[in-house]
Structure 1
């Protein structure tokens, strides 16, 4: 039956509809480019839901100006990004859904490539490569490209490294599967972390393709403290990390601690020189509590960078003075490197 189903879709123009959820909040400047990237998509059978999440400055006129019958506009009370995506799941007309933020882009062949692999292997989810691009400089990097070297199917048995990709926006999902397995977003910052942890722990098979599908545009300078790197933001990230712990396979947890030191905490350590002493104290105490709570999962060799490793050792030992000293050095080196890159 599976083979016949795939042959039917490939031999007819009646391909499954993909619903695209575009959440908006103060998005007038960036939304037009996002919608243009959708219109440039090779895959044409689309249902595009543009949802204003309670902001007083609406985008309805922008949506209407595209004069595209596939575009549907919604306005609702402000609930945040995660619950807006849940709104998309519940209101999707398509068999599949894709999440696209209103300040990002998709590649023209993204949806067709994801759908081709989904149909060929009867998959409930297919994930592709995300490109992180600085909107001002055009400098690009690929998000965890090592996970997407070849086309393959990730199973529960071989998925440990897949937890590194915490993005929800580079994936095509079968709507029925999300509902069946109760895979929804929750409130709070870094809702993607918890959502993808649920996804990876509940779906038996997930497709991975080695093609670029999503452009994550980064705005603003990366050499000064921003809202996304504030201590409040750090605490939001910590809440998400603590919540997702129950979905992580036991064998993955040592790697999750390493990911915390090599990525989650490192984001804020790189900005350490910009924080006040009270903010530094808060970061230290929060990180120390997390590391010492999960001390038995720590495998030091998974944190190879010397300064990261020194910070981990300080957290394990409860040595605040060593942590502060090392974090300041790590941060200053990183900031000096960033300034040097800007001069080149």
Structure 2
């Protein structure tokens, strides 16, 4: 065990499930003695948690690691990640580098950098895919090719859902490398069904008996928030008393907000942005609905 130093790499510490799961792994992993290291693109809502962890997590920000896709900036990110990995290795002489990458961009760039510096083991966790069928064909092909290249440099894979492994296998992104599903745990007690939060409904200015439909998702293409807008429009044409709530944020927020205004339903559809009180929101809703165009885990419906 003492022969390794563990380094996690993630694109950005947004307020999302993959990011929270990664922080939990970094903080609680017992595979290698601490401190554990996290290489990340700065600017996320969860950045302050690194300081809150004290010396348990050593953060290594790489400013060039950011979305969207920018080839020259991404090349600088590879250099920045490699520089951080070399400094970590130099601080732990006699121990081998075990690099664990997360998310699409950091998954590709991090594995290339880890291979370049001679990491002894490179593991990638598949939380989703950066390439999806709704994007232009040449861009899809380029991102798929990048994943294929990175797969050749990978020692093994984990995924938080069997559907992700199945898709990766179908697209030729796993080969014969070791692979397994490692699901993300949640605090079941916090999400136990309970009475609706009257205080939260008041804060959101919701009528006491108004039916509330909650969606928790990032506003990005893979989550397909424009379908959320279209469904809300159809429902509200028949049930104007219904309230739709979207908890999450992302690059498509301006487009979603504009579509709500154009449809004349902005007053019944709330874009709350990033929230840390998801359990309370769930207790305040009547239905939970999720619409995604690429991901097949979880549940969708009323």
TM range (shorter): 0.3 to 0.5
Q: Greater relative contact order (Cα 8 A, min sep 6): structure 1 or 2?
A: 1
Q: Which has the higher helix share?
A: 1
